[in-house]
Amino acid sequence: MKTVQDYLSDPRLLNDPDIAGALEPIREIHAIRLKIQDETANMTRAERIEFLNREAENFLSPMGKVLCYDLAGKGKLEPVTQ
């Protein structure tokens, strides 16, 4: 499996003048997007969701964070009574 560093030298990035001349963080973001695109190209929607959730869990778990999948009733504005 290719790494982000491998994608930084990918012709799709190197041959794009806007990306080739961009700042390093911008080039890294585009390399990460290409990596995800290539890894999930042949997946169904459900497989892609599972893959992305698993990747997020793998990223967050070393920091002691957990994904919250049940967002029912959260984030809704409540009226203020005075």
The reported pLDDT for the residue numbered 74 is 65
Q: What is the pTM of this model?
A: 0.66
Residue 81 pLDDT greater than 90, yes or no: no
Structure tokens, 46: 């459900």
Q: pLDDT, tens digit, for every residue of 18-56?
A: 998 899 999 999 999 999 999 999 999 999 989 988 988
3-state helix, strand, coil in the chain (%, to 5): 60, 0, 40
DSSP string across 10-26: -HHHHT-HHHHTS-HHH
* Residues 6+ positions from 47 with CB-CB distance below 8 Å: 40
Contact 52, 67 (CB under 8 A): no
Closest CA to 38 of 11, 77, 7, 8: 7
The reported pLDDT for the residue numbered 78 is 64
